[in-house]
Structures are given as C-alpha cells and as structure tokens.
Amino acid sequence: MSGCGCGPLNRRLPEFIPRRIAVASVVGICALAWAAPASAYRPFDGTDAAVADVGEVEIEFQPIGALRAGPTKGLSDAIFNFGFADRWELVLQGTPQVLPEGSGPISVSNGAFLKYVLQPGVLQDKSGPSVATEFGPLLPPSGGSGVGFGLTGIVSQRWDWGTVHLNAASNLTPDQHGELFFDAIIEGPSKWKVRPVFEIYSDSVVTQSQTFSGLVGAIWQVNDKLSFDAAVRYASVDGRPVSELRVGMTFGFPLILSQPATAQAPFAGARRH
C-alpha cells in the first residue's frame, strides 16, 4: 500500500454467505475508505508486490485492535482492493478513529491509491522477484485537513523457507511535511497453514518525528478464500513507547458474483500464501 503490509484475495465468497451481504460489505467499506501512506497488507504496515486479478475484489478488515500511547484506544480499519486492469489495482482505505497524540504513523492511513506490478515474478507464478509501485493521494485523518501524496516501491521474493517484502516510500503528508518510510517483512513458508510473520520499519517525518517499529504475529490461511491474522507491535516514537494489538481478516470474491473462478484466473488470495 499499502499496506500492506501489509497487500498487500482473488476468491469467491463461500456459498453460505448471501450475495446481499457481500454487496453491502463492498459498499460499506468503500464509504469508510473515502470518508476517513501506501496501503498495507495485513497485519503489516508495508505491503507486497502483488495485485488482485482483473475483476476481483479483496477486502482487508480489522474489527478488533488496540493501540497504547499513554491511554489505550480501540482501533479498527478497512482496505478495499479492486483489480480493474491487467497488473493494476485500485486501493481505497481508511481508519475512522482519531489516534492519541504521539502515537506515530498509523498502519492504514486514509487514502486512495493505484498499484501496478512493474515486473511480474514469484508472486505472479513466474521466476524472479516481483516488483511493484503504488501511488496516490494521502487524505487527512478524521477531523483533519489537507491532502498529501505517497509513492512507494515494493520488491517481493520467495524461497522454500519463506517470503520477504521490501518497501521504500517517499511521501508528502496531508499537513505538508516530507516523509521517508523503509520497511522489511518476513513471512514463514508459504505452504504452512499457519505461518509466522515479522516486520521492522523506520518512518521519518522530516523535522517532526522518528519512529522505529517491530511486529511479530501469524497468518492462518483457512483456504484460498479466507485468512485470519493476529500480531503485536512495539514502536519507539521519538523515544516514547507505543504498543499495538492487531487482529483481522482478509477475504475476496469476484465483483460479478455470478462469474465462476477459473484455473486461468485464480482467486487473488493465492498471491499471499
């Protein structure tokens, strides 16, 4: 994102979920993203070098979370991803809560982005690293004002022992400050049903703040349609401790719900396990 993690599932909804619920979910999360830096891939702050397949929707949702920077505050967020063209993805995301002062950068900043796979690779079932870029306006937090811009470069590579995603971003924040973000994500073996995940990043808002963050957690890949995640994060924001709990899920389906999945167009979630 952008994440995201971070993406940052090209899948059909289980048959027991009524279509009306699916449509309502898409509309609701779109509204949240517009009302409320690069899109994250759950449960990360960074993202991966992959996009949803054409015509597919992927939703990343955190109903349960908490951030402690002094007082503890509940935290929820949502990301809507849509593959609208070959190697292109639209990302709408937002967090409705106002965070405590001194909490540092938020995982899911309010924004609207385009993500493009520059070089298909291992995440697209080809050889070599996957390379992508993500860019778009950064919207102000709830109650804020101003518009910024984010540009992120992403490289992902997979081996038998695990997968690594590297992010580098240069942003103009909504309050018009320069920001540099460097992030590394490490995931356990992609064939494991439950795989451990780790992330470290540095975020520098020029003349304003410096954040160093570390995250550890796990992703449970239920099937090609659904995954759950949980993680804890500890950060130092200008020398002050910040801790966070993240619990969420990712699911996906074709935008045209009657359209069957095919072997040539697998669900996008396959890219992230």
User: In this predicted structure, what is the pLDDT of residue 205?
Assistant: 95
For residue 1, tell me if it sits in a domain: no
Highest mean pLDDT among 12-26, 105-119, 142-156, 174-188: 174-188
Question: What distance separates the 2 farthest-apart alpha carbons in the chain?
Answer: 53
| Residue 68, domain CATH | 2.40.160.40
* Calpha distance 52→252 (Å, rounded): 9
- Evaluate if residue 31 carries a pLDDT over 80: no
- Evaluate if residue 14 carries a pLDDT over 80: no
Band of pLDDT at residue 97, cut at 50, 70 and 90:
confident
Pairing of strands 226-237, 88-94: unpaired
Residue with the bigger pLDDT between 95 and 128: it is 128
- Evaluate if residue 165 carries a pLDDT over 90: yes
Backbone Cα Rg of the chain: 17
Q: What percent of the chain has pLDDT over 70?
A: 79
For residue 186, tell me if it sits in a domain: yes
Number of domains in the chain: 1
Mean pLDDT of 12-20: 37
Residue with the bigger pLDDT between 88 and 262: it is 88
Among 3-7, 87-91, 162-166, 183-187, whose mean pLDDT is lowest? 3-7
**What is the overall mean pLDDT for the chain?**
82
* Calpha distance 150→156 (Å, rounded): 19
Give residue-wise pLDDT tens across range 204-257. Answer: 999 999 999 999 999 999 987 789 999 999 999 999 999 999 999 999 998 865
User: In this predicted structure, what is the pLDDT of residue 197?
Assistant: 98
Residue 217 structure tokens: 């957690």
Domain encompassing residue 31: 19-272
Among 12-21, 73-82, 121-130, 190-199, whose mean pLDDT is lowest? 12-21
For residue 95, tell me if it sits in a domain: yes
For residue 264, tell me if it sits in a domain: yes
For residue 5, tell me if it sits in a domain: no
- Evaluate if residue 13 carries a pLDDT over 70: no
For residue 39, tell me if it sits in a domain: yes
Burial class (CB in 10 A: 0-12, 13-18, 19+), 139: buried
DSSP states along 2-16: B---------PPPTT
Contacts (Cβ under 8 Å, ≥6 apart) of 188: 161, 162, 195, 196, 197
User: What is the identity of the amino acid at 192?
Assistant: W
For residue 6, tell me if it sits in a domain: no
User: In this predicted structure, what is the pLDDT of residue 263?
Assistant: 41
User: In this predicted structure, what is the pLDDT of residue 16?
Assistant: 34
Mean pLDDT of 8-13: 34
Residue with the bigger pLDDT between 257 and 173: it is 173
DSSP states along the chain: -B---------PPPTTS-HHHHHHHHHHHHHHHHH---B--TT-SS--S--PPBTEEEEEEEEEEEEESSSEEE--EEEEEEEEETTEEEEEEE--SPPPTT----SS-SEEEEEEEEE--GGGTSSS-EEEEEEEEEPPPTT----EEEEEEEEEEEETTEEEEEEEEEEE-TTS-EEEEEEEEEE--TTSSEEEEEEEEEEEETTTEEEEEEEEEEEEEEETTEEEEEEEEEEEETTEEEEEEEEEEEEEEESSTTSPP-SSS--GGGGG-
Among 15-19, 109-113, 156-160, 219-223, whose mean pLDDT is lowest? 15-19
Which residue has 């967090």 as its token pair? 95
For residue 4, tell me if it sits in a domain: no
Band of pLDDT at residue 23, cut at 50, 70 and 90:
very low
Mean pLDDT of 11-34: 36
User: What is the identity of the amino acid at 26?
Assistant: V
User: In this predicted structure, what is the pLDDT of residue 40?
Assistant: 56
- Evaluate if residue 110 carries a pLDDT over 50: yes
